[in-house]
Amino acid sequence: MGESKMKKFLSVALILMLAVTMLAGCGSKGDTTTEEKTTEEALSGKIVIAGSTSVQPLSDELAAAFMEKYPKVSIEVQGGGSSVGVKSAADKIADIGASSREVKDSEKKLGLKEYVIAKDGIAVVVNPSNEVEDLTLEQIKKIFTGEITNWKEVGGKDQSITVVSREEGSGTRGAFIEITKVEEKNAEGKKVDKTTVNALVQPSTGAVKQTVANTPNAIGYISMGALDKAVKAVKVEGVEATEATAKAGTYKIARPFLYLTNGEESEVVKAYIEFVLNEGQEIVKEEFISVK
């Protein structure tokens, strides 16, 4: 073979090699995308979540987002209460138990794996003109049950207190009365809401905030995420109502939202919990405090 032909042959061979390399690179990128898509399509199975009715609406939203991402996954969300969530996870009746309280010492022996998926913080708010800066949990309880009716009893002006509360069935109301002990058990052991009958009941966080902002002697409670200068959040037991104090556990009117498993987690359950603790925190932040 002549030198000229040899050069042409080598040039063609080099071009072919470059072309193959480029095609292989394109194919590799395509394979990665296909692999990710295949994973989303391939993940399948059913998850049953049972427990806290406070966590239930959040679980519904998280489950809907997860099922949209993984169409072959089915998630059933049930209520029943936090104690039901603990028992359901322990007895393997549900894949995930949901609780809106800490696991009790008596339940720790069940050996459940705990995941904090969100924090629920509630601020006690007054009109900005109110000189009261700090209240104890006991004072808050007595105000909302109607035992304390004048601001002078807690260091304020000689002025009657207007209590503003959420409607019955509100998740915020449920959490507030539970934590502040406004909800008590009667002789039969049934929980009873002791909120004063004189309270102004409002249907939303916005309505509570507006009422307190427009009423100098009012007091109410709203989710921390709704705080702004229209109202003033009082300290509780000397601690400010902030996302940081709620996360740290120093602010008392806050609670964790937990997912509980018995440790035997299927691939789909692991994937769902991983989603909740990462991507799902964007959903959590809409109404609650993210754990990230």
Q: Give dist(CA 238, CA 168) in Å, integer.
A: 29
Fold match between domain 45-120+255-284 and domain 121-254: yes
Per-residue model confidence as pLDDT tens for the chain (292 residues): 555 544 454 454 444 454 444 444 544 444 445 444 545 668 999 999 999 888 898 999 999 999 999 999 999 999 888 889 999 999 999 999 999 888 888 899 999 999 999 998 999 999 999 999 999 999 999 999 999 999 999 999 999 999 999 998 787 888 899 899 999 888 888 889 999 999 999 998 899 999 999 999 999 999 887 889 999 999 999 999 998 999 888 999 998 899 999 989 999 999 999 999 999 999 999 888 899 8
Q: Give dist(CA 279, CA 203) in Å, integer.
A: 30
Q: Which residues pair with 185 in a beta bridge?
A: 191
List C-alpha distances in Å: 6 to 15, 19, 20. Answer: 14, 20, 21
Structure tokens at 279: 């991507």
CATH 3.40.190.10 fits 121-254, yes or no: yes
Q: Residue 221 in contact with residue 177, Cβ under 8 Å?
A: no
Question: Domain 45-120+255-284 is classified in which CATH homologous superfamily?
Answer: Periplasmic binding protein-like II (3.40.190.10)
* Half-sphere exposure for 274 (CA within 13 Å, toward CB): 7
Domain boundaries in the chain?
45-120+255-284, 121-254
Q: Give dist(CA 129, CA 233) in Å, integer.
A: 12
| Single pTM value for the model | 0.67
Q: Give dist(CA 285, CA 118) in Å, integer.
A: 9
Could you read off the pLDDT of 246-281 as tens digits, one per residue?
Answer: 988 899 999 889 999 998 999 999 999 999 999 999
Q: Residue 63 in contact with residue 55, Cβ under 8 Å?
A: no
Query: What pLDDT, on a 0 to 100 scale, did the predictor assign at position 14?
Result: 47
Number of neighbours of residue 240 by Cβ within 10 angstroms? 15
Q: Residue 221 in contact with residue 176, Cβ under 8 Å?
A: yes
Could you read off the pLDDT of 47-86 as tens digits, one per residue?
Answer: 999 998 888 989 999 999 999 999 999 999 998 888 899 9
